[in-house]
Amino acid sequence: MTEPECLFCKIVAGDVPSTPVYENGTVYAFRDINPQARVHVLVVSRQHYEDAGALAGDDPALLADLVLAGVEVARQEGIERSGYRMVFNTGEDAGRTVFHAHLHVLGGEGLGLFGRVG
């Protein structure tokens, strides 16, 4: 299922351009337009889910696909050994902006601590 007004559905469909990093039958990974680290890749399911919880509840294997794709992205980007962070943001306090479940893969340099602002 796709949502006509969803940015990441449009990216998956190729209607909005993106820079591909990895893809398979269930997921698509592309570079974040506003990278927060030297490597910042988004991994999305081809099927639309509002957030990670909805995705995991409906199709747990698809959540595993996202995580395994994140590991593959880290391997391809050469940060598998140096380390990386995988993040799902949910809701306003987490700064969530796009409502199609996506896994952030960040690395390529030392990452700051995360948590409370200031």
Q: Among the options 40, 100, 102, 104, which is catalytic?
A: 102
Main-chain dihedrals φ then ψ at residue 36, nearest 5 degrees: -100, 5
Q: Is residue 98 involved in binding ligand 5GP (CB under 6 A)?
A: yes
Contact assessment for residue 27 and residue 35, using Cβ atoms and an 8 Å cutoff: no
Q: Is residue 9 involved in binding Zn ion (CB under 5 A)?
A: yes
Q: Which is nearer to Zn ion, 12 or 39 (CB)?
A: 12
Contact assessment for residue 39 and residue 107, using Cβ atoms and an 8 Å cutoff: yes
Contacted by 6, from ligand 5GP, Zn ion, none: CB < 5 to 8 Å by type:
Zn ion
Cα(104)–Cα(14) distance, integer angstroms: 20
- Which listed range, 40-48, 59-67, 69-77, 84-92, lies at the site for Zn ion (CB under 5 A)? 40-48
Residues in contact with Zn ion by CB under 5 A are: 3, 6, 8-9, 48, 100
